Amino acid sequence: MTVEFSEKLIDMGKQAKEAARFLRKATTLEKKKVLNLMADSIEENAEKIKQANYQDVLNARENGMAPAMLERLTLDDKRLKAMAEGLRKIAQLEDPLAQANKQWKNDNGLMITQRPVPLGVIGIIYESRPNVTADATGLCLKAGNVVLLRGGKEAIASNEAIVEALHMALEEVGFPKESVQLITNPDRQLVTQLMQMNDYVDCLIPRGGAGLIQNVVKNATVPVIETGVGNVHIYIHESAVYETARDIVLNAKIQRPSVCNAVETLIVDQAFAEHYLSSLGNALYDGNVELVGDEQVRQLIPFATVAHEEDYETEFLDLKLAIKVVANYDEAIQHIEKYSSGHSEAIITSDYQTAQDFLNDIDAAVVYVNASTRFTDGEVFGFGAEIGISTQKLHARGPMGLEALTSYKYTIEGSGQIRE
């Protein structure tokens, strides 16, 4: 990495800090206006964004990118419209900075107020999903934060075109362009530098695969909110209704396999498997899902291949599913505890007590009974959008909306009090 690039990133950090002082004082109406203008600008520049994205997709295909990842990279009219509508939805959300959290008067007559404040400068490190560029910008800005974006090299042209459109809106209302900055140089050393810019960056949020997230967690000195890796399980209890189980599993695996809330491992009680796993395997086969499993699975589903240890550890993000037959509930829980990434876990059962036990036993950000794991999503939860799905426990957990992008401070108003 050259000194020039290193100094440029530091300059971006300094500009971000300056912009943060502006944004934390921006009013609700000002932020709403700029977000709506950003949505308009995305639509007005849709053709330019699609052209840039076409080049990214072409390059990625030539470089052998997996089909599931190509699907995440691709922008079409529908996704661009969704991107713009997402910004408009964020604009309409309640401003998380607008109300005091708590207020009380202490024994000394001091009025103490806990007030929400922006985190400040947030670095987003992500991979091949250019829609994150707009989503992250909208959420960060609504909560009064500056955003430093470092997307994957596969989406550089797309991200540049999107950020250019966002900058047009910022300039129109007099917000500093430095409120949204994109690192366009793909040098990985720049990522390491970003992760250690404690003087300029207040928080890092990585969004991507396990390798990216662990790289950030292990190398960052800036505080990190760990997100995203979804080694997701669905456990079919012996009391499950077959049709319900089939519909949920097919949705959780096939509807969009490239996302972190898609199921990766299916755990099946032996009593259920003996009657229904063969039929369920055929339904998955019809959906072009590759199946791997243990010996019992392969006896019931002849076209399934051997599941190795790493298969139960892997977030496939593709039309592949690992299956494990277990003797009982306790064995299912043990398997989930061993392999879960703490993202989303589900049980399908018609037994009320078993359902309640599962809700209490499973330590994950989101725990389901009789529903597809595909619902782990900030917009579905009513947050308007999400910055990511946190799999840790400190500060934020699960789908992270606007409140997760704020902290708080205490303001004290007195009338001359001194402490004895």
pTM of the model: 0.86
The pLDDT, as a whole number, for residue 203 is: 96
Residues in the chain: 420
The pLDDT, as a whole number, for residue 383 is: 82
Report how far residue 200's alpha carbon sits from residue 193's, in angstroms, rounded to the nearest whole number. 11
- Between the alpha carbon of residue 37 and those of residues 87, 91, 261, the distances in Å are 9, 10, 31
Structure tokens given for 369: 């009974």
The pLDDT, as a whole number, for residue 2 is: 47
Indicate the SS3 state at residue 347: strand
Q: For 323-340, what is each residue's pLDDT tens digit?
A: 999 999 999 999 999 999
The pLDDT, as a whole number, for residue 99 is: 83
Alpha helices in 188-344 (DSSP H): 188-195, 210-219, 242-254, 270-286, 295-300, 309-313, 329-339
- Which one, of 154, 158, 159, 180, lies nearest residue 169 by Cα? 180
The pLDDT, as a whole number, for residue 1 is: 46
The pLDDT, as a whole number, for residue 166 is: 98
What is the DSSP code string of 109-131? S-EEEEEEEE--EEEEEE-S-TH
Indicate the SS3 state at residue 328: coil
Report how far residue 19's alpha carbon sits from residue 383's, in angstroms, rounded to the nearest whole number. 26
Structure tokens given for 150: 């470092």
Cβ contact 231:341 at 8 Å: yes
Q: For 254-284, what is each residue's pLDDT tens digit?
A: 999 988 999 999 999 999 999 999 999 999 9
Determine the residue type at 307. A
State the Cα angle at 331 between 353 and 370, rounded to 5°.
45
**Residue 313: φ, ψ to 5°:** -100, -5
Which residues on adjacent β-strands are paired with residue 158?
none
Which residue positions in the chain have pLDDT lower than 70? 1-5
Kindly calculate the radius of gyration of the chain based on its CA atoms and give it in whole angstroms: 24
Task: Using the structure block, give the residue that is written with the tokens 């396990």.
Answer: 210
Cβ contact 136:124 at 8 Å: yes
